[in-house]
Amino acid sequence: VADVQEIIRAANRFAVPLWPISRGENLGYGGARSFRDASLILDLSRLNRIIEVNVPDAFCLVEPGVSFLQMFDYLERHDLPLWLSVPGYGAGSIIGNALERGVSSSPYGDHAAQICGLELILGDGELVRTGMGAMPHSGMWQRQQATIGPRYDEIFLQSNYGVVTKMGLWLMRAPEASAAIEIEIAERDSLGAVIECLAALKRLGVIQDSPAIASYLTSAALCSAKSDWMTGKGALDQNAETLLLRTLGLGWWNVKVRLYGLPDMVSLCLRQVEQELARLPGCSFHISRWQKGAPISSAHRGVPSIDGAGNVRWLGENGAHIDFSVAIPVSGAEALKHARWMIRELAACGLDYHSAFYLRDRHILNVVQLIFDQADEEMCQTVDVLYRRLINDVAMRGYGINRSPLDYRADVAATFSFGGNAIGNLAQRLKRALDPGSILSPGKDGLS
């Protein structure tokens, strides 16, 4: 930490911008790339200590280099009854992922919301501990988000105000039992009915997960390439789609719902879910149960893996992706409208629909991966134009954008225009106050 402080002070002295990365694996949103070529990458991946894991209170304190794979290993090796919320790509940093608002479908899948206390270095080298970490003798740093006075943790999300060197993060306690329900929905246009069904179960408190309703391509792209199903340009056509669905035995939408609790509670909730699913047209499902003491598989809890990144090979060795992440209201009709619109927009550019809807309490987060051939210059150009248009269109539709690749942060910022871009001015005031030399990740927030 003292070394990082020294580097930041030196960067200020020589006016050299720094681009801090945890492990540089923010795939789909920029990776390790800096926004300006003149920046030095400040690679924190060797700060990789797991400082504490507490079982009764279910939290950890980690450094930026700790990956999901490393933490999972640690929990396994010590046989600790804590479950990790795991995003699509397991080699990434736990800290980096939480700061960049990574998600999973677990009850702890809003990773930023699990942050409890930071240690960080401001742009001029000042070391700060937030929350109860500011009390030198405190035993509460990772136990209590509420401090006295303002809580600062969340201004360091997706920001360029400081370099986080330690983070407290809440983990899920292993339940006594769980059930995993793997659901297939045959028809594309049943999306609305699925959403309404699962949303009702969430409102009743039956489902604690934020289940992901994923288009068939999110599975198909992991085990096959587009060229297996179709030759020529353009989006996957109807024949290819039919062949693929039949061959791989997938639903158009595929959902995994997990239930947690005491065995009897899980049984009761499972009965509710089964009842509701039975009413859905074209729906089939498979149930597996688990109970404490039994061997456990990835059906029941998140297991980090690097396989998820393989889906770019859908377009061969030059496949790449940028992700479009937007929140929409909890409404089946709205979700179906959004899906149809996105499918049409992507198809018009020759792109396929790799999409997942994460159903949360008060909104649905839709993440669409735009997979393109990076060797195909025309396609790159098309994707670029499309992405900018999508930003403006969803803003007009009243949806909420919460992540974007670096190159589009300025476009997104322009849609946050209330009060003459008041939020941008607020961001700039804080930037000047916390990083007066504008040394940290200039351009990252689309402003400074």
**Quick check: 158 and 99 in contact, CB under 8 A?**
yes
Q: How far is the CB of 406 from its own copies (least distance, A)?
A: 12
How many Å apart are CA 200 and CA 261, to the nearest integer? Answer: 19
Q: How far is the CB of 137 from its own copies (least distance, A)?
A: 5
Q: How far is the CB of 2 from its own copies (least distance, A)?
A: 12
Q: How far is the CB of 116 from its own copies (least distance, A)?
A: 8
Q: Which is nearer to its own copies, 171 or 217 (CB)?
A: 171
Q: How far is the CB of 118 from its own copies (least distance, A)?
A: 11
Neighbours of 80 (CB within 10 A): 16
Query: DSSP letters along 134-197, please?
Result: GSTT-S-TTT-S--SS---GGGGTT-SSEEEEEEEEE-EEPPSEEEEEEEEE--GGGHHHHHHH
**Quick check: 67 and 84 in contact, CB under 8 A?**
no
Residue type at 413?
A
Residue 338: both structure tokens together: 């959004």
Give me the sign of the Cα torsion angle 71, 72, 75, 76: negative
The SS3 call for residue 289 is strand
Q: How far is the CB of 364 from its own copies (least distance, A)?
A: 10
The SS3 call for residue 372 is strand
Q: Which is nearer to its own copies, 306 or 414 (CB)?
A: 414
Give which of 41, 39, 84 is closest to 66, Cα–Cα: 84
Q: Which is nearer to its own copies, 61 or 244 (CB)?
A: 61
Q: Which is nearer to its own copies, 216 or 324 (CB)?
A: 324
Q: Which is nearer to its own copies, 348 or 423 (CB)?
A: 423
Q: Which is nearer to its own copies, 268 or 375 (CB)?
A: 268
Q: How far is the CB of 3 from its own copies (least distance, A)?
A: 16
The SS3 call for residue 221 is helix
Q: Which is nearer to its own copies, 118 or 309 (CB)?
A: 118
